[in-house]
């Protein structure tokens, strides 16, 4: 695979990332607790959020293959930072799904989500607390 993005430092602890295929951009700021403005996602916010995005995406792919849609599924993301060294220590994600699929399919989708590419790419010491609320 070729280049996917370019990143430019805009000053003031802000970056702008451009997705090369679409031209869409994302701003990041350093967080307030690390000398930043906190007016946009921080880079570590993006990592935590990417986990939820990835989980929901692969669950949606599997659901589509099974003939149903997970439209409206949502996730709430909490990131816990450690200070020494400064890094993400844990990510908690509460995924809320509306579906009347079988209990077996719910278990399959949860396993698919928990084994998404981002989840498998994160360091094993990073605690991932994932909950699923089927309603």
Q: Do 101 and 48 share a structural domain?
A: yes
Residues 75 and 126 in one domain: yes
Say if residue 68 is in the same domain as residue 25. Answer: no
CA triplet 23, 87, 19: central angle to 5 degrees? 5
Shared domain for 15 and 77, answered yes or no, is: no
Give the tens place of pLDDT for each residue, 76-125: 999 999 999 999 999 999 999 998 899 999 999 999 999 999 999 999 99
5-63 pLDDT tens trace: 999 999 999 999 999 999 999 999 999 999 999 999 999 999 999 999 999 999 999 99
Domain range for residue 66? 43-134
Full-model pTM: 0.94
User: How many domains does the chain fold into?
Assistant: 2
State residue 99's pLDDT score: 83
Kindly write down the DSSP assignment for every residue of 32-64, as one continuous string: GGGTS--SS--HHHHHHHHHHHHHHHHHHHHHH
Comparing CA positions, the residue from 45, 41, 48 lying closest to residue 14 is 41
């Amino acid at each position: 695979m070729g280049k996917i993005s370019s990143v430019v430092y805009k000053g003031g602890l802000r970056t702008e990332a451009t997705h090369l295929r679409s031209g869409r951009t994302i701003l990041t700021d350093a967080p307030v607790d690390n000398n930043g403005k906190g007016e946009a996602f921080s880079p570590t916010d993006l990592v935590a959020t990417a986990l939820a995005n990835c989980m929901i995406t692969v669950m949606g792919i599997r659901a589509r293959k099974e003939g149903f849609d997970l439209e409206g599924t949502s996730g709430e993301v909490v990131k816990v930072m450690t200070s020494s060294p400064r890094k993400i220590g844990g990510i908690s994600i509460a995924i809320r799904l509306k579906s009347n699929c079988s209990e077996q399919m719910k278990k399959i989708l949860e396993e698919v989500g928990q084994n998404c590419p981002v989840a498998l790419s994160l360091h094993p010491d990073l605690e991932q607390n994932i909950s699923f609320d089927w309603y």
